[in-house]
Amino acid sequence: MTDVPSRQRKPDACSFVIFGASGDLTRRLVIPALYNLAVTDLLPEKFCVVGIARKGMSSDAMRDSLMKGLRQFATRPVDDVVARRLLECVTSIEADPKDPASFDAMRDRLEKLEANRSTGGNRLFYLATPPNAFAPISRELGRTGLLQQKNGAWRRLVIEKPFGTDLASAKALNGELLKIVDEHQIYRIDHYLGKETVQNILVLRFANGMFEPIWNRNHIDHVQITVDEKLGVGHRGSFYDATGALRDMVPNHLFQLLSLVAMEPPTRFDAHSVRAEKADVLAAIQTQSETEALRNSVRGQYQGGKIGDTVIEDYCKTEDVKPGSTTETYAALKLSIDNWRWAGVPFYLRTGKALGLKRTEVAIKFKQAPFAMFSSTPVETLAENYLVIGVEPTEGIALQFNTKVPGPTIRIDGVEMKFRYKDYFKAEPATGYETLIYDCMIGDNILFQRADSVEAGWQAVQPFLDAWKKVGAKGLERYKAGSEGPDGAEELLKRDGRSWRKLG
Ligand code: BG6
């Protein structure tokens, strides 16, 4: 077993300004991730954290609240000395985009604080807020000059998801931001890129000689991308009902998986080359007509049921969900990529809530070997050849192939060769945000989405959004919570003579 080495380079001195400092995301992920970076000595020597707070919240009150959050959400036992040292860096400052004067006052306080802490003027603004605040906050940061890079100091803007709600809104938001900052100053977060197994797709494909020659339409029959969740919508009814499974998961998380699997080899392992290839492959997803989109998709909504011992109520009865809502909690799509590598290879994507299993995986199905050689033997079928990249719950890679069953006659059975991360590497449990936050601080945007990728993702899903909106309840299937999802998802593949890989 190998200990995972920590990267050595400490980020530059900087201030880390969090909008939404009293929100859930900050308590659950950002502060626990900063804590983990502090434990591994990967925070800057000179550092300050500024929490942009509600009116009247003192720095002490903010530190207390963050400490409580840290105790609740830390991924490892909290060492009080390290936690205190981190929280001592926290200062609470008020700023409200509806009150421009508060941003001017914030700039003055921030500049004084930065001079005291000798952070050299480097700053990162982390927008951990609801999405409707992204543009107003950025505008104020622009107006006050807080994002302007000068005297060798860098200024960066980190934006959480969702980035837009459709193609037009994503373009509008990109347009607004790019008036204020340059693309390389923007870090659009997709937490899937913080997952080791997702990052490993690049290494698997491009650091091994044996996969790339067969990674194409000559050898691959189709690709399945599955992100199944057990949890229902819970207390997020109002957000989710306006969003749905497609917007919530596909143009971001599932497309991260798709683009890493389908991209061309970048010439270098750097942000420019990798992001250019990812954007290109997303742009090559065939734009479907609305009729094609309806034919190539399945929508479902969960009804009450049981998952283990947990009773899940009907989606429509969830708090803050409109009665009679036609929002989908499950989506399955068939997509095609129009390029030399992938023409004719379908990509099937599925994701849903309140399903029987939590499972995130990419399954590459290779073409079947010709059966002719075994036609005069008792062998009836050959098992399917899959390469499975497991993201959750098992992090690893499995290869399924056929082998001879020992004995005097020719019998063939499918077997599996498995690599599991935990068998080889000892990694401390983490939030998944450590690498992302560290990369923002060192200025490496390889794991962040570029404007063109985001827009290409929305472009590919827009026909589905439009077509579903027009047909409303028609075609929305119901599935029982705890099941495998709507029947139509099986039909989608059966029509092509294929089936989903069995999970579990
Ligand atoms: C979030 C979605 O972005 O990703 C949630 O808004 C979803 O609805 C979550 O549950 C899934 O992330 P993970 O890492 O658990 O697969």
Q: Is 253 a catalytic residue?
A: yes
**Which ligand 1 atom minimizes the distance to the CA of 432?**
14
Ligand 1 centre and the CA of 165: distance in Å? 16
Output Rg (C-alpha) for the chain, integer angstroms: 24
pLDDT in tens, the chain (504 residues): 555 555 578 999 999 999 999 899 999 999 999 999 999 999 999 999 999 977 779 999 999 999 999 999 999 999 999 999 999 999 999 999 999 999 999 999 999 999 999 999 999 999 999 999 999 999 999 999 999 999 999 999 999 999 999 999 999 999 999 999 999 999 999 999 999 999 999 999 999 999 999 999 999 999 999 999 999 999 999 999 999 999 999 999 999 999 999 999 999 999 999 999 999 999 999 999 999 999 999 999 999 999 989 999 999 999 999 999 999 999 999 999 999 999 999 999 999 999 999 999 999 999 998 877 777 777 777 888 999 999 999 999 999 999 999 998 888 889 999 999 999 998 888 999 999 999 999 999 999 999 999 999 999 999 999 999 999 999 999 999 999 999 999 999 999 999 999 877
Res 385: pLDDT:
93
Mutational test site, ligand 1, from 253, 359, 362, max ligand atoms within 8 Å of CB: 253
Mutational test site, ligand 1, from 28, 248, 252, 329, max ligand atoms within 8 Å of CB: 248
Ligand 1 centre and the CA of 162: distance in Å? 11
| Distance of alpha carbon 30 from alpha carbon 79, whole angstroms | 17
Ligand 1 centre and the CA of 495: distance in Å? 30
Contact criterion met (CB below 8 Å) for 325 and 316: yes
Res 372: pLDDT:
74
Res 490: pLDDT:
97
**Which ligand 1 atom minimizes the distance to the CA of 192?**
14
Ligand 1 centre and the CA of 355: distance in Å? 14
Q: What residue owns the CA closest to ligand 1's atom 8?
A: 248
Res 90: pLDDT:
97
Q: Which of 176, 131, 480, 45 is nearest to 302 (CA)?
A: 480
Residue 361 beta carbon below 6 angstroms from any ligand 1 atom: no
Residue 228 beta carbon below 6 angstroms from any ligand 1 atom: no
The residue type at 422: K
Indicate which residue of 219, 222, 235, 253 is catalytic: 253
**Which ligand 1 atom minimizes the distance to the CA of 252?**
3
Q: What is the DSSP string of 23-79?
A: SHHIIIIIHHHHHHHHHTT-S-SSEEEEEEESTT--HHHHHHHHHHHHHHH-SSPPP
Q: What residue owns the CA closest to ligand 1's atom 2?
A: 248
Residue 329 beta carbon below 6 angstroms from any ligand 1 atom: no
Mutational test site, ligand 1, from 189, 249, 315, 353, max ligand atoms within 8 Å of CB: 249
Residue 229 beta carbon below 6 angstroms from any ligand 1 atom: yes
Which residue do the tokens 């970048």 mark? 266
Ligand 1 centre and the CA of 249: distance in Å? 7
Residue 360 beta carbon below 6 angstroms from any ligand 1 atom: yes
Mutational test site, ligand 1, from 188, 191, 256, 351, max ligand atoms within 8 Å of CB: 191
Res 340: pLDDT:
97
pTM (2 d.p.): 0.95
3-class secondary-structure state, position 315: helix
| Distance of alpha carbon 321 from alpha carbon 315, whole angstroms | 8
112: left (phi over 0), alpha (psi -120 to 50) or beta: alpha
Ligand 1 centre and the CA of 502: distance in Å? 22
